[in-house]
Amino acid sequence: MKTEILNQELGSIKSPSRRDVIKTLAAASAGLIFSPNTLLAATRQKKDKLGVALVGLGYYSTDLLAPALQQTKNCYLAGIVTGTPAKAEAWKKKYNIPDKNIYNYQTFDQVANNPDIDVIYVVLPPSMHKEYVIRAANAGKHVWCEKPMAISAGECGAMIDACKKNKRSLAIGYRLQHEPNTQEYRKLVKQNKLGKVLKASCGAGYVENRTDHWKQNKALGGGVLYDMGVYAIQGSRLGTGLEPVGVMTAKTSTNRPQIYKNGLDETTTATLAFPGGIMVDIKTSFGENINYLNINCDKGEIKVAPYQAYAGVIADSPLGQINHPYTVPWQQAKQMDDDATSIIQEKPMLVPGEEGLRDIRIVEAIYKSAATGRPVEI
């Protein structure tokens, strides 16, 4: 059949052009042997709205991402991946999802043959991120991955490599980097509106009483530093506009060893060293409600509180208050619309995989410093 079609197409072409076309087809066929996604990319039509499939239907997908996808302009909820048949049926009815766009973890790879789905959003426990990001990329889909990106820098690197190999984009779900109040206080820092940053502090935490969630399971990526700690690490980086060069001190602890056991951290504190002698104290906890970022500059202090709330971020400074109000789940909708726009326009992602990798390297350095009692270079 393919030969007949090619002969028909070539029959009307004059001799010189025909030879050129044959050479081109031969080259394309040779490339296809080594990279099947090359043909998929070449034949994929551009869309003005991308279909998103959520992998993992826990709280974040159910209460925030799915409702946000009803508000987005550049993407929509096209499919789901779940291991629970009852959830699949409920989501099918609630969001009118076709049967062909519903997968479980065994049939997941078949998404490669589904043109309705352009993006896979991985919303699973951190220990599963590497597997499903790589499988999604190998299926020829763009990938969004929740934070923390993975449980090791090595896993992050493998995820980045898989997406690059398949020429697919990878974005990490750092909603705050898309958030307007965060972007505005970052401009104050970047433009030295209050002079140079002298020091900073950031805290992120809440009281987590569950006992059987992945956050209490070390093998699944549990521990506060991987979860809320990434917010505190992000605060140190966004608040200074710099990258840390080392961990000066670090300590992990728990007041509830019956919940946070086997060395799992309920609370972690650390002092990060930045270029120019800037020190940033961070604290993160599953046993305390904390939500702040303080940035001390030459000409005053920027106080951000709440620093990472879903309903809004508010910053005060000598230059005035920064407070653009909005409602839940606007942050998630803005994040996904931004990322979809980047894909459609073939522009770099605002928060690429390399951003998640940076934070996991810092996580590893903090744990190492806490274990050894010594400073650790990043």
pLDDT given at position 330:
98
More confident: 224 or 2: 224
CA distances from 12 to 9, 21, 65 (A): 7, 12, 52
Can you name the residues that pair with 251 across neighbouring β-strands? 269
User: d(Cα 229, Cα 233) in Å, to the nearest integer?
Assistant: 6
Q: Mark 136-174 as b/e (b = at least 16 C-beta within 10 Å).
A: bbbbbbbbbbbbbbbbbbebbbbbbebbeebebbbbbbb
pLDDT digits (tens, 9 = 90+) for 48-76: 999 999 999 999 999 999 999 999 999 99
pLDDT at residue 9 tops 60: no
User: d(Cα 268, Cα 282) in Å, to the nearest integer?
Assistant: 8
Largest pairwise CA distance in the chain: 81
User: d(Cα 249, Cα 36) in Å, to the nearest integer?
Assistant: 49
Q: What letter would DSSP give residue 308?
A: S
The two beta strands, 287-297 and 300-304, are: antiparallel
Interval 315-328 mean pLDDT: 97
pLDDT at residue 32 tops 70: no
pLDDT digits (tens, 9 = 90+) for 152-174: 999 999 999 999 999 999 999 99
The 10 Å Cβ neighbour count of residue 334 is 18
The rounded mean pLDDT for the chain is 91
User: What element of type H or E holds 180?
Assistant: helix 180-190
215: nearest Cα among 282, 281, 148: 148
User: d(Cα 109, Cα 118) in Å, to the nearest integer?
Assistant: 14
Is 119 in a helix, a strand, or coil?
strand
pLDDT given at position 44:
56
Interval 353-377 mean pLDDT: 98
pLDDT given at position 304:
98
pLDDT at residue 290 tops 50: yes
pLDDT at residue 36 tops 50: no
pLDDT digits (tens, 9 = 90+) for 200-226: 999 999 999 999 999 999 999 999 999
pLDDT at residue 272 tops 50: yes
pLDDT digits (tens, 9 = 90+) for 85-109: 999 999 999 999 999 999 999 999 9
Q: Mark 311-328 as b/e (b = at least 16 C-beta within 10 Å).
A: ebbbbbbeeeebeeebee
Task: Indicate the domain borders of the chain.
Answer: 1-30, 50-175, 176-327+345-377
Q: Which two tokens stand for residue 76?
A: 């929509």
Domains 50-175 and 176-327+345-377 share a fold: no
pLDDT at residue 1 tops 70: no
pLDDT given at position 42:
40
pLDDT band at 46 (very low <50, low <70, confident <90, very high): confident
Share of the chain above pLDDT 90, in %: 87
- Name the residue type at position 356: G
Domain 176-327+345-377 grouped into CATH 3.30.70.120 = no
The topology (CATH level 3) of 50-175 is Rossmann fold (3.40.50)
User: d(Cα 184, Cα 346) in Å, to the nearest integer?
Assistant: 25
- Do 54 and 66 form a contact (C-beta atoms < 8 A)? yes
pLDDT band at 141 (very low <50, low <70, confident <90, very high): very high
Q: What letter would DSSP give residue 234?
A: H
Share of the chain above pLDDT 70, in %: 88
Interval 112-130 mean pLDDT: 98
